[in-house]
A and B are shown apart, each in its own frame.
Chain A
Amino acid sequence: MIQIKFFASLRESIGTSSLNLEYAGENTVADVAHELVERGANWRLLEERDVLCAVNQTLCGKDAKINDGDEIAFFPPVTGG
């Protein structure tokens, strides 16, 4: 099982803050994003270039490797401070 979280405007556009996926041997974050975009037009945002991602709460590139049990997050550029 992998847990996927979405934040801020991305969470609003997709309409969910988190979901669980049965781990099916996906290699990278990009593989997971690619699977999710099948869910509908709004989900295509996940493949936009400025969307950031994290694996197990560490910022990473979309080519980051993933494993069963990982927590993956997708979010827009940050705007704190």
Chain B
Amino acid sequence: MISVQRDDFDHCEQYQALKEEADGDGAVVTFTGLVRDFNVQGSVSGIHIEHYPGMTEKSLMRICSEARKRWQLGQIRVIHRVGTIGPQEQIVFVGVTSKHRKSAFEACEFIIDYLKTSAPLWKQEGTSEGMKWVASKSSDQEAMDRWANTTNQS
């Protein structure tokens, strides 16, 4: 299940849905990203996320397909919010089920790393000088590059 949406999501509902659909899987791993209320320049009053309607959804689907090629997975749920989001609010959810925890942990991390470097989403942060576009981080690319040299271990 992929969703790009303005509205917030209920983490418990997402977990419950994954658990109900798990169909014999022994592991559920979820990741939830929150808006930080600070960055290197100081406090952040909130963020605004722009996306590319159509392509963002396709990218997320492609990322999930790529994860399924590498690990034996049951259910995958990815939610990314767009628009204006306040400090400490939820931005992104990734939930994965698998027979065993290792695949679920790895796939969840892979999906968020891949999302951060390839899904067309752009973040602006509210600073004391107004809204500022966030620069991409080399650490995100390095996190993604780690996966380039790994193959399916499950």
Contact = CB atoms under 8 A, between A and B. Distances in A.
Interface stretch (A3-11, A23-31, A40-48): A3-11
A78 B120 contact: yes
B141 to A, nearest CB: 9
Interface residues of B, number: 27
B116 A81 contact: yes
A57 B91 contact: no
Nearest to A11: B50
Contact of B122 (A54, A59, A76): A76
A75 B51 CA distance: 11
Contact of A80 (B54, B55, B116, B133): B116
B121 interface: yes
B134 A73 contact: no
B54 to A, nearest CB: 6
Contacts of A77: 135-136
A81 B112 contact: yes
Nearest to A76: B122
B55 A57 contact: yes
29 contacts: A7-B50, A7-B120, A7-B122, A8-B50, A8-B122, A50-B136, A54-B55, A54-B120, A57-B55, A57-B58, A58-B55, A73-B52, A73-B55, A73-B120, A75-B52, A76-B136, A78-B118, A79-B116, A79-B123, A79-B133, A79-B134, A80-B116, A80-B119, A80-B122, A81-B33, A81-B80, A81-B91, A81-B112, A81-B116
